[in-house]
Structure 1
C-alpha cells in the first residue's frame, strides 16, 4: 500500500458511522484543504469539513464506504471507486422540507478523486450518484409536475 493510499484510507476510516473521528477527518486535510461534493455543488473547508461527515451520519447513522478500487495515479493523485452505504434513519433536508426516514438500505456508486500535498488532502472531489441515492431512499422524479411547470413557463 502506498503512502498516499494510506492517507486516503485513514480519511475514510475517520468518517465511518461507527468511528466519527471529526478531528482525525479534518486533520487529514491541509490547512487550506477543500472537500467538493460534485453532485450538489457544495464545497467545505476548515471546520466546515465536519459538516460533510455529520450530515451523512445524521441521515445514515451506519454510513460505511465500501472501497472497491483504489488507484494511486502518481503525482499525488488517488482515484477511488466505492459504494457509500447506509440505512436511511435520519431526516433528509430538501428545499421542500425534510424527507422523513423510512429505513431504506442504500448503496450508492461513487467516484472520489484526491489531490494530496505534503502528506495531506489538498482537494477531495466526490462524485456520488445522487439520483441513485434518492431512488433507493424512495424519492422518484415527478416528471408530470416538471412537464406542467415547463409548459406553464412558456
Structure 2
C-alpha cells in the first residue's frame, strides 16, 4: 500500500511520461513539452544552462541526436510536497554530435552509463521546473574526452 497522496501519484505518472517522450525509441518532443506548465523551465545544472519555452524541447532533440539509442534507467523516486526527485542513469551510444553550450563533441562511438538526479516541481499536473543534476565528469570520462576536452570541442 502506498503512503503517497493522490497528487504525488499523479506527479509520478507525469514524470514517467516525460521520461518516456524523451527516450530515443519513443521520442516525441511536442508531447514532452506539453507536460510543462506555461513559464516552466529545464535547468541543465552541469552545463550551467536554463531553458524556457520551445528551447526546453531542444534538450530532448540534442541528446536523442547524440545518442540515438538513449534510454534512462530509472531508480528510486522520492516525494516532498510538490517535488519529485528521481535517481537514474543516462545510457546510450555516442553516435552523433553532442551540442553543449560550451561547444560540440563529435561522435566517439562510446557507451555511456552516466548517473543523474532529477528534481521536478509540479503544479496541477504540469512541470513548473525540471533541474537535471547529471554527473558531467562521469559522462565526459566515459566519452573519453575529459582530459582533452578543449581539443575535442568544435566551436
Say whether the 8 Å CA contact 1:2–1:72 is kept in structure 2.
no
Aligned length: 143
Q: TM-score, normalised by structure 2?
A: 0.85
Partner residue in 2 for 1:19? 26
| TM-aligned CA distance change 1:97 to 1:38, over 3 Å | closer
Candidates 45, 48, 62, aligned match of 1:38: 45
Q: Indicate yes or no: 2:112 matched with 1:106.
A: yes
Unaligned runs of 5+ in 1: 143-154
- Distance across 2 between alignment mates of 1:117 and 1:36: 17
Q: TM-score, normalised by structure 1?
A: 0.86
Unaligned runs of 5+ in 2: 1-7, 149-155
Say whether the 8 Å CA contact 2:47–2:100 is kept in structure 1.
no
The 4+ residue runs of structure 1 with deviation greater than 2 A are 92-100
Q: Indicate yes or no: 2:62 matched with 1:55.
A: yes
- Select the structure of larger CA radius of gyration: 1
Say whether the 8 Å CA contact 2:33–2:56 is kept in structure 1.
yes
RMSD of aligned C-alpha atoms?
Answer: 2.1
